[in-house]
């Protein structure tokens, strides 16, 4: 009984056998969606492959040691001998993004609590659109505002030129605030409502409920938002580059010019010839950025697994 | 009594923070508009920039941004919808699908500068497309694709399952059911999301520095032959976009009025993003009303 | 067995480990209405949905046994499900017209199956709308969205839509449970009209409805087919005690 249903009755004319119109149509549609997915998979593998192949060249065939790059303090790619110490950039990237997260996290948590626990209606109609708008503002605009508002302000209030890690961190903190807030809000909204009611029933105040019950329960999700925020800050290029000063050393204070991985790449990639050691060393920095992305995704996945449990 | 006091203080702090965030946004927009609007005129929006003289405009950059956006969306939307259909309708619940999901997640977390570098290495150099609008559009496609995929997947999942079953019960193939029955239902939310994605693409600069380039050839806006090198429509010409222009004049602008130009250009960029945002909201509301008020 | 007869033989449906339908064998009388009744979760909807393999959509669902339509076993993996479904119309609990015009809702199916020409399509649309007593209500606004109709009208539009591809069998999954009493009465009237031409299987929660519209009734409980007989007999003199208990409202 494995004949296909033939159209003796009720079936439309003009179709015959197994290869009816719908079979071909289905095959064509499937081919299209498989193609799209395949393209995406190929793209990501080629991103990793191409950047890794260029970024590994200095270590494999041009005599730069991984240790020198990761822990070296001097970046003199055109010097004699050339030095490729990327530690100042790593330091700059880590410190700015972590500092940005430290500023953004408490603000974001408060905003999330405001939107879920305190004034949900006002939060939904005013604060949420505001935060979505913040997310939509392009990074060069943040850079521009940072350069023309934050930097002069810091220059007036604190010693130094105003440019530096703190300026970068402040600009970044506004940029990642939407990430932290949105994920935090989703997490708080998805908490079971019985949780709160039980606590209120015991006579706890709202703050006690938030502090003792809601925050600990939602902590892994809130951390997910923070990690995603750090990831975004770590990879952000232009806004930081515009306000951080770009001096290739480890700064002694928050108000001294510094450099991040992204900003050094932005600045130097265009001025080096493809294939030169200097150029390849920049690809190594890009590879570090790429590996950091994997690390962030991994950490986020770990946190999400904890949420599910 | 003490617990109540703490509660009040904490609540007050939280409300203050929420107010502070609104204030930051208002100050940000206010600053940009107040400083920028003074400088925006028809001439500013249409004339070419000046390298070292006062009075340059942002005409070509504005055109480049819009043209690049159109090119990008033409490439991204079909690919994103295709992959989104796969994720929502064809993907089985297995390891392969989990892996593809991971790939979408990783792709969406790549810093845009990394995508720009990939574009430089592969699209500009290996494919030989050079610094061009097409290279920029392809880089932005990589940047935008994960968002489109998720958007399509989510929109299709929100289509009531009875719609799908009704299509299948009529004897339609799965593909026909998806493309003719489900996609029309999902379309409003796909369009709304795409407009928001377009806003993101419009303001993106880091992915474009090394793909679309940081210069714009002298354009002849009377020449509409897409193959001519001075034609604005030629996809193989380098094109500095508005966002890239802002970055460039801030870091190496030589014109004496560079800060004003940057302010004006930033205001234009932000206004465009606001328009995209409001446009998406407006569209969503209109469609919602059309679908619900029909009873 | 005639060319269009519908029957099942030892049909079981599993969701993962759970067996939702247990070895049900039934013969459906042609051109008559069979009602499937039973408490929620008894497997009657699952059973209905396996008659046109709609359960294929649910991941983890698995069918054992046979469903015969004429001389074809549709559970055979080689069966062309797409074409099979064209011969079996289906109506859901919630009206689900396509997000298209009233005309398109009906013309879409036949056009896809190869009916060309505006005239023929017009004819099909009119016939189907007349059969469902909707023609006079909507003939002046065929280009309006199907969603603009009232709930009861939408449901009749959905029935008309399924008739347009010329099925022999109609499966109805609680077609009136989301409607008001007037619309429900209309749908029931319609069912009695349609059974002249179609084999109808209807799942219902409403005992009175089963008694009013069906010729035969099957009582399901925990995935088992408990009793299957003429509706008259089921409601007056059921042979099993649990049937009697359910029908007289003592449980479920």
d(CA A102, CA A82): 36
Whole-number Å distance between alpha carbons of C35 and C198: 14
Provide the 3-class DSSP secondary structure of residue A17. coil
Q: What is the pLDDT of residue A12?
A: 42
Query: In this complex, is the C-beta atom of A149 within 8 Å of any C-beta atom belonging to chain B?
Result: yes
In the predicted model, is pLDDT for residue A223 greater than 80? yes
8 A C-beta contact, residue A258 and residue A92: yes
Q: Can you give the pLDDT at residue A63?
A: 78
Mean pLDDT, residues A68-74 taken together: 81
pLDDT tens profile C181-196:
998 998 999 999 898 9
A38 secondary structure, DSSP code: H
Kindly compute the dihedral angle of the four CA atoms of residues A134, A136, A140, A142, in this order, to the nearest 10 degrees.
0
Does the pLDDT value for residue B63 go beyond 80? yes
The β-bridge relationship of strands A75-76 and A83-84 is antiparallel
Q: Verify that B99 and B147 share a domain, yes or no.
A: yes
CA distance C216 to A115: 57
Q: Cβ–Cβ of C168/A18 closer than 8 Å?
A: no
B19 and B46 inside one domain: no
Domain that holds residue B121: 41-292
- B-chain CB neighbours of A238 within 8 Å are 205-206, 247
Q: What percent of chain A has pLDDT over 70?
A: 94
Task: Evaluate whether A264 touches A75 at the Cβ level (below 8 Å).
Answer: yes
**Residue B157 shares a structural domain with residue B22:** no
> What chain B residue is nearest to A235 in terms of C-alpha separation?
B111
Confidence at residue A5, expressed as pLDDT on a 0 to 100 scale: 36
By the CB < 8 Å criterion, does A202 face chain B?
no
- Shared-domain flag, residues B102 and B15: no
Query: Min CA distance, A74 vs chain B (Å)?
Result: 24
Number of domains in chain B: 2
Burial per residue of B65-85, b for 16 or more beta-carbon CB atoms within 10 angstroms, e otherwise: bebbbebbbebbbebbbbbbb
Tell me: the pLDDT tens digits for A5-61? Answer: 333 333 344 444 455 778 888 999 999 999 999 999 999 999 999 999 988 988 888
Residue C2 clears pLDDT 70, i.e. is over it: no
Contacts of C90 in chain B (CB under 8 A): 165-166, 169
Q: What is the CATH number of the domain that holds C114?
A: 3.40.50.300
* Confidence check: pLDDT of A308 > 80: no
Which of C76, C114, C166 lies nearest to residue A10, judging by beta carbons? C166
Question: With an 8 Å Cβ cutoff, is A14 touching chain C?
Answer: yes
* Residue C218: predicted pLDDT: 92
* Range among A73-87, A206-220, B165-179, B234-248 with highest mean pLDDT value: B165-179
Q: Which of A99, A71, A95, A102 is nearest to A85 (CA)?
A: A71
pLDDT tens for A280-305 read: 889 999 999 999 999 999 999 988 88
Measured CA to CA, the distance from residue B170 to residue B172 in angstroms comes to 6
Is C48 part of a structural domain of the chain? Answer: yes
Check C148 against B295: CB less than 8 A apart: yes
Rounded to the nearest angstrom, the minimum Cα separation between C13 and chain A is 21
A217-221, B48-52, B144-148, C56-60: which is most confident? B144-148
Same domain, B152 and B247: yes
| Residue B170 or A309, more confident | B170
Whether residue B30 is found in the same domain as residue B96: no
**Residues contacting C112, CB < 8 A, separation 6+:** B170, B171, B172, B176
- What local confidence, expressed as pLDDT, does residue A38 receive? 94
Residue A112: phi, psi to the nearest 5?
A: -65, -45
How many beta carbons lie within 10 A of that of residue C6, not counting itself?
23
Domain with C210, as residue range(s), is 6-247
Note whether residue C252 is domain-resident.
no
State the chains in contact with B (3 or more Cβ–Cβ pairs under 8 Å).
A, C
Q: Is A210 helix (H, G, I), strand (E, B) or coil?
A: helix
User: What's the rounded Cα separation, in Å, for the pair A123 and A107?
Assistant: 14
How much is the pLDDT for A210? 84
Q: pLDDT digit string (tens) for B212-235?
A: 888 777 777 777 777 777 777 888
Phi, psi dihedrals of residue A29, rounded to the nearest 5°: -60, -45
Chain B contact present for C135, CB below 8 A: no
Would you call B111 an interface residue with chain A, using a CB distance cutoff of 8 Å?
yes
Distances B39 to B33, B213, B265, C159 between C-alpha atoms, Å: 10, 26, 9, 63
Looking at the complex, report in whole angstroms how far the Cα of residue B143 sits from the nearest Cα belonging to chain A: 11
Q: What is the pLDDT of residues C90-128, one digit of tens each?
A: 999 999 999 889 999 999 999 988 888 899 999 999 999
Chain C nearest-CA residue for A20: C83
B139 lies in the same domain as B30 = no
CB contact under 8 A, C3 and A9: yes
The whole-angstrom distance between A17's CA and the closest CA on chain C is: 10
pLDDT of B253: 66
- Candidate from A41, A119, A274 with C-beta closest to B125: A274
User: What domains does chain A contain, in order, with CATH numbers?
Assistant: 90-308 (1.10.3720.10)
Inform me whether the C-beta atom of residue A10 falls under 8 Å from chain C C-beta atoms: yes
Confidence band for B142, pLDDT divided at 50, 70 and 90: very high
CA dihedral A226, A231, A233, A235 (to 10 degrees): -170
Contacts of B135 (CB under 8 A, 6+ apart): B119, B123, B124, B129, B211, B212
Which pLDDT belongs to residue C157?
93
pLDDT-derived band at A129, boundaries 50, 70, 90? confident
Contact flag A136-B259 (C-beta cutoff 8 Å): no
Same domain, B133 and B21: no
Secondary structure (DSSP) of C124-164 = HHHHHHHHTT-HHHHGGGTTSBGGGS-HHHHHHHHHHHHHT
Measured CA to CA, the distance from residue C36 to residue C46 in angstroms comes to 11
Q: Which chain B residue has its CA at the smallest distance from C160's CA?
A: B170
- The verdict on B217 touching A (C-beta cutoff 8 Å) is no
State the Cα–Cα distance between residues B84 and B76, nearest whole angstrom.
Answer: 12
Output the DSSP codes for chain B: -HHHHHHHHHHHHHHHHHHHHHHHHHHHHHHHHHHHHTT--HHHHHSPP-SSSS----HHHHHHHHHHHHHHHHHHHHHHHHHHHIIIII--SSHHHHHHHHHHHHHHHS-HHHHHHHIIIIIIIIS---SSHHHHHHHHHHHHHHHHHHHHHHHHHTS-HHHHHHHHHTT--HHHIIIIIIHHHHHHHHHHHHHHHHHHHHH--TTTTTTT-S--PPP-TT---TTSTT-TT-TTS----HHHHHHHHHHH--STTHHHHHHHHHHHHHHHHHHHHHHHHHHHHHHHHHHHTT-
The answer to whether C114 faces chain B, any CB pair under 8 Å, is: no
Residue C1 lies in a domain: no
| pLDDT given for residue A6 in this prediction | 35
pLDDT (0 to 100) of residue B220: 74
Measure CB to CB from residue A5 to each of C77, C84, C114 and give the nearest one.
C84
pLDDT category, B60, cuts 50, 70, 90?
Answer: confident
Partner B contacted by A5 (CB < 8 A): no
pLDDT band, residue A3 (cuts 50/70/90): very low
Structural domain count, chain C: 1
| B185 → closest Cβ in C90, C94, C99 | C99
Are both B21 and B123 inside the same structural domain? no
Residues B133 and B188 in one domain: yes
**Residue C123 belongs to what H/E stretch?**
helix C118-131
Query: B93 burial class (0-12, 13-18, 19+ CB within 10 angstroms)?
Result: exposed
- Give yes or no: residues B203 and B241 share one domain: yes
Cα(C99)–Cα(C108) distance, integer angstroms: 12
Q: Point out which residues pair with C19 in neighbouring strands.
A: C14
Q: Do A1 and C76 touch (CB under 8 A)?
A: yes
Query: Which of A13-22, A78-87, B265-274, C41-50 comes out lowest in average pLDDT?
Result: A13-22
Residue A11: its pLDDT value, please?
Answer: 39
**Which chain A residue has its CA at the smallest distance from C166's CA?**
A10
Q: Which residues of chain A does C89 touch, with a Cβ-Cβ cutoff of 8 Å?
A: none
Distances (CA, A) of C172 to C6, C63, C177, C201: 15, 20, 11, 6
Give the minimum alpha-carbon distance from B154 to chain A in angstroms, rounded to a whole number. Answer: 16
B178 shares its domain with B81: yes
Give the one of A2, A7, A22 whose C-beta lies nearest to C82's C-beta: A22
Helices (H) and strands (E) in chain A, counts: 14, 2
pLDDT, residue A180, reads 93
What band does B178 get if pLDDT is binned at 50, 70 and 90? very high
Task: Give residue B2's pLDDT band: very low, low, confident or very high (50, 70, 90).
Answer: confident
Query: Which residues of chain A make contact with B20, given a CB cutoff of 8 A?
Result: 107
pLDDT of residue C215: 93
Q: Hey, of C5, C80, C112, C169, which one would you mutate to test binding to chain A, going by the most A CBs within 10 A of its CB?
A: C80
In a domain, C33, yes or no: yes
pLDDT in the model for residue B1: 59
C69 touching B, CB under 8 A?
no
Residues with Cβ < 8 Å from C16, sequence gap 6 or more? C60
Residues of chain A found within 8 Å of residue C168, distances taken between Cβ atoms: 9-10
Q: Is A278 on the interface with B (CB under 8 A)?
A: no
Domain presence at residue C54: yes
């Amino acid at each position: 009984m494995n004949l296909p249903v033939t159209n003796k009755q009720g079936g439309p004319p003009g179709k015959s056998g197994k290869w009816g119109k719908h079979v071909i149509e289905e095959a064509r549609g499937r081919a299209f969606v498989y193609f799209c997915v395949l393209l995406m998979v190929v793209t990501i593998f080629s991103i990793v492959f191409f950047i890794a192949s260029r970024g590994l060249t200095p270590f494999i065939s041009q005599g730069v040691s991984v240790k020198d790059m990761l822990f070296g303090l001097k970046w003199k790619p055109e010097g004699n001998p050339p030095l490729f110490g990327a530690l100042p950039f790593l330091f700059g990237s880590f410190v700015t993004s972590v500092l940005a997260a430290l500023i953004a996290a408490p603000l974001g948590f408060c905003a999330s609590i405001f939107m879920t626990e305190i004034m949900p209606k006002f939060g939904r109609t005013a604060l949420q659109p505001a935060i979505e708008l913040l997310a939509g503002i392009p990074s060069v605009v943040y850079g521009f505002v940072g350069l023309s508002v934050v930097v002069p302000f810091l220059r007036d209030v604190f010693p130094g030129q105003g440019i530096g890690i703190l300026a970068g961190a402040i600009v970044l903190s506004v940029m990642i605030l939407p990430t932290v807030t949105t994920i935090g809000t989703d997490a708080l909204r998805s908490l079971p409502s019985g949780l709160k009611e039980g606590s209120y029933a015991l006579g706890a105040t709202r703050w006690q409920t938030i502090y003792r019950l809601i925050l600990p329960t939602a902590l892994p999700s809130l951390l997910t938002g923070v990690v995603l925020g750090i990831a975004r800050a770590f990879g952000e290029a232009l806004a930081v580059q515009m306000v951080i000063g770009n001096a290739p050393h480890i700064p002694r204070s928050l108000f001294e010019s510094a450099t991040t991985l992204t900003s050094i790449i932005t600045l130097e990639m265009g001025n080096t010839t493809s294939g030169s050691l200097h150029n390849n060393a920049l690809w190594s920095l890009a590879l570090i950025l790429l590996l950091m992305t994997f690390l962030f995704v991994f950490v986020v996945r770990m946190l999400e697994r904890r949420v599910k449990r | 009594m003490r617990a109540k006091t703490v509660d009040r203080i904490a609540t007050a702090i939280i409300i203050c923070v929420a107010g502070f965030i609104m204030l930051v946004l208002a100050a940000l927009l206010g600053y940009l508009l107040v400083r920028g609007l003074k400088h925006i005129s028809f001439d500013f929006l249409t004339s070419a920039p000046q390298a070292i003289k006062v009075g340059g405009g942002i005409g070509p950059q504005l055109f480049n941004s819009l043209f690049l956006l159109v090119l990008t969306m033409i490439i991204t939307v079909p690919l994103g919808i295709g992959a989104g259909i796969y994720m929502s309708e064809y993907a089985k619940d297995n390891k392969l699908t989990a892996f593809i999901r991971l790939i979408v997640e990783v792709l969406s977390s790549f810093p845009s500068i990394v995508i720009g570098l990939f574009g430089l290495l592969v699209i500009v150099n290996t494919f030989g497309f050079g610094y061009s609008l097409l290279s920029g559009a392809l880089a932005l496609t990589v940047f935008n694709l994960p968002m489109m995929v998720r958007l399509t997947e989510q929109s299709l999942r929100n289509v009531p399952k009875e719609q799908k079953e009704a299509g299948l019960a009529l004897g339609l193939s799965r593909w026909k059911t998806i493309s003719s029955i489900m996609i029309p239902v999902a379309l409003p939310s796909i369009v709304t999301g795409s407009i928001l994605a377009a806003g993101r693409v419009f303001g993106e600069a880091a992915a474009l520095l090394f793909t679309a380039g940081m210069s714009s050839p002298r354009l002849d806006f009377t020449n509409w032959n897409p193959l001519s090198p001075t034609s604005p429509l030629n996809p193989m010409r380098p094109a500095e976009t508005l966002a890239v222009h802002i970055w460039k004049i801030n870091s190496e602008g030589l014109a004496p009025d560079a800060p004003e130009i940057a302010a004006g250009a930033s205001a234009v960029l932000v206004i465009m993003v606001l328009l995209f945002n409001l446009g998406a909201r407006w569209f969503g509301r209109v469609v919602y009303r059309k679908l619900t008020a029909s009873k | 067995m005639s060319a269009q007869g519908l029957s099942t033989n030892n049909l079981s449906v599993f969701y993962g480990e759970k067996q939702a339908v247990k070895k049900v064998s039934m013969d459906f009388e042609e051109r008559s209405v069979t009602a499937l009744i039973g408490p929620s979760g008894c497997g009657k909807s699952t059973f209905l949905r396996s008659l046109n393999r709609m359960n294929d959509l649910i991941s983890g669902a698995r069918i054992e046994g046979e469903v015969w339509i004429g001389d074809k076993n549709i559970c055979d993996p080689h069966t062309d499900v797409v074409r099979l479904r064209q011969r079996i119309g289906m109506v859901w609990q919630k009206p689900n017209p396509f997000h298209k015009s009233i005309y398109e809702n009906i013309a879409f199916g036949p056009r896809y199956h190869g009916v060309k020409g505006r005239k023929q399509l017009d004819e099909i649309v009119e016939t189907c709308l007349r059969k469902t007593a909707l023609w006079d209500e909507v003939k002046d606004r065929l280009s309006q969205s199907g969603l603009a109709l009232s709930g009861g009208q939408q449901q009749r539009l959905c029935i008309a839509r399924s008739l347009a591809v010329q099925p022999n069998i109609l499966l109805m999954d609680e077609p009136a449970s989301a409607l008001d009493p007037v619309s429900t009465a209309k749908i029931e009237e319609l069912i009695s009209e349609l059974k002249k031409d179609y084999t109808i299987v209807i799942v219902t929660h409403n005992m009175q409805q089963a008694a009013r519209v069906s010729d035969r009734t099957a009582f399901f409980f925990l995935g088992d087919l408990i009793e299957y007989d003429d509706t008259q007999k089921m409601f007056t003199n059921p042979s099993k005690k649990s049937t009697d208990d359910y029908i007289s409202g003592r449980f479920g």
